[in-house]
Amino acid sequence: MKTLLQRNIRDRIMESLLVLSTIVVLLPLIIILVHVVVNGISALNWDFFTQELGSPSRALQGRPTGLVHTILGTLVVDFLALFLAVPIGFGAGIMLSEFPDHKLNPTLRVMNDTLNGMPAILKGLLAFVLIVKPMGTFSGLAGAVALAFVMIPIIARTTESALMSIPWSIREAGLAIGLPRWRVVLSTVMPAARFGLVTGTLIAFARAAGEAAPLLFTSFGNNYLPNHWLGMLLGPVDTLPQRLYSLAISPYSHWHSMGWAAAIVLLVFVIVCFGTARYLTRQKH
C-alpha cells in the first residue's frame, strides 16, 4: 500500500503532466499562426488584392502581381458550392428529423456519416469523373460540385441536430392550429432553429473553403482572370487553397511570400466563419 504522501506526489505529477501536454499541443498552433502572420504580412499590399498573378517572369522582373483572380474565383466557387449543397443538406436534415419513422433513415444516417468521413480528395475524383470528363475541361463548376460534396454531409448532420433540438410541442402547436405539415416545418420549426441552421452552414462553408485537394483536378487553377465572366464557371479558375499550394511548391521566393500572404487571407476567412459559428452557438444558449 502506498503512503498518502506518495499518492499526493503522484497526483501532482499527473497534474503537471496534463498541463505540459496541453502546452505541447497548443504551442505548435501558436507558432504556426505567428509564422503565417510574420511571413505573410509584408506581401499583403494593395497589388495583392488588385493584380493578376501572371507568369513567374512578372514577379521576377518586379512588376506588380497579386491574387485578385484567386480571391474572386474562390468567392464564385465557394458560393456556388454553398448554393448547390444547402438544398440537399437541408432536405436530408429535414428527412432525418421531421420524418423520423422513414425506413431509409438509418441507411441515410450511415451513408451521410460515411460520406463525411471520406477523404476530400476522393470527392474531387468523383467530381472529376462526373463533371470534368463529360465537359472535357477543368471548370469552376466542377470545383463547386467537388466542394459541395464536402459541404453536403456536414450541413445534413448539423441541420438534423438543429431541427431535433426544437421541442415536439412546437410542431404539435403548429399542427393543432391547422397548419399542414410542410408549413409546420418551413414556418415554425426552421425559423426556430435558424441559429443552428446558419451555424451548421457556416461550419460546412469554412471547412470546404480550406480544402485544396478536391480543387486541384476540378477547378485546376489559372494565373489570369478569365476573359468572360462565364469563364469562372466553364473554364479553369483559381482558388485560394489550391493557389497557396502551387505558390508554396514553386521555386520563386517572391511567390513564396505571396503564398504566406494567401495563407493569412485564407486563415482570416476560415477563422471569421468559425468564430461567427461559435458566437451564434453561444447566443442560442
Partner 1 sequence: MTSDSDTSNNGNKEARELLRRPPSAIYRWLGDRIFAVVVVVLGMSIIALAAAMAYVLYDEGSLSLWQFGFWDFIRGTTWDPAVQLVFGALPFLFGTVVTSVAALLISFFPAIAVAIFTAEYAPRWLASIIDNLIQLIAAVPSVVIGIWGIFVLAPWMRDHVYMPIFTWAETSYPALLPILGNPMGYGMATATIVLSLMIVPYTTALTKDAIKSVPVEQREASRALGATKWEVIRMAVLPYARGGILAGAILSLGRAIGETMAVAMLIGNKNTLPFSIFGAGATMPSVIVNEFREAVESLHLSSLMAIGFTLFIIALVVNLAAAYMTRKFSIKGGQVV
Query: Of the listed pieces 53-61, 72-80, 173-181, 227-235, which binds partner 1 according to CB under 8 A?
Result: 173-181
54/250 Cα distance (integer angstroms): 14
Q: Give how far Cα 169 sits from Cα of 86, 163, 176, 177, Å.
A: 27, 13, 10, 12
Q: Which residues of 213-223 are buried (b: 16+ CB within 10 A; e: fewer)?
A: bbbbbbbbbbb
Site for partner 1 in 226-285 (CB under 8 A): 241, 244-245, 248-249, 256, 259-260, 263, 266-267, 270-271, 274, 277-278, 284
Q: Of 63 and 183, which CB lies nearer to partner 1 in the complex structure?
A: 183
Residue 229: CB minimum distance to partner 1, A: 26
Site for partner 1 in 70-89 (CB under 8 A): 87-88
Estimate to the nearest angstrom the gap between the alpha carbon of 125 and the chain centroid.
18
211 contributes a contact to partner 1 by CB under 8 A: yes
203 contributes a contact to partner 1 by CB under 8 A: yes
Q: Of 59 and 94, which CB lies nearer to partner 1 in the complex structure?
A: 94
Residue 279: CB minimum distance to partner 1, A: 11
Site for partner 1 in 112-151 (CB under 8 A): 112-115, 117-123, 125-126, 129-130, 149
DSSP string, 42-91: GG-SHHHHHS----HHHHHTT-----HHHHHHHHHHHHHHHHHHHHHHHH
195 contributes a contact to partner 1 by CB under 8 A: yes
DSSP-derived 3-state class of residue 135: helix
Q: Give how far Cα 54 sits from Cα of 73, 224, 229, Å.
A: 15, 6, 18
- H helices of 103-167, where? 105-117, 120-127, 133-135, 140-164
Q: Amino acid identity, residue 94?
A: I
* Out of 48, 205, 220, 255, the residue judged to bind partner 1 by CB under 8 A: 220
Q: Nine-digit cell at 108?
A: 441515410
* Out of 50, 173, 229, 230, the residue judged to bind partner 1 by CB under 8 A: 173
Q: Amino acid identity, residue 284?
A: K
* Out of 67, 98, 131, 197, the residue judged to bind partner 1 by CB under 8 A: 98
Residue 83: CB minimum distance to partner 1, A: 14
Residue 215: CB minimum distance to partner 1, A: 10
Quick one: which of 84, 226, 217, 231 has its CA closest to 155?
84
Q: Of 16 and 229, which CB lies nearer to partner 1 in the complex structure?
A: 16
Site for partner 1 in 7-36 (CB under 8 A): 7-8, 10-11, 14-15, 17-19, 21-22, 24-26, 28-29, 31-32, 35-36
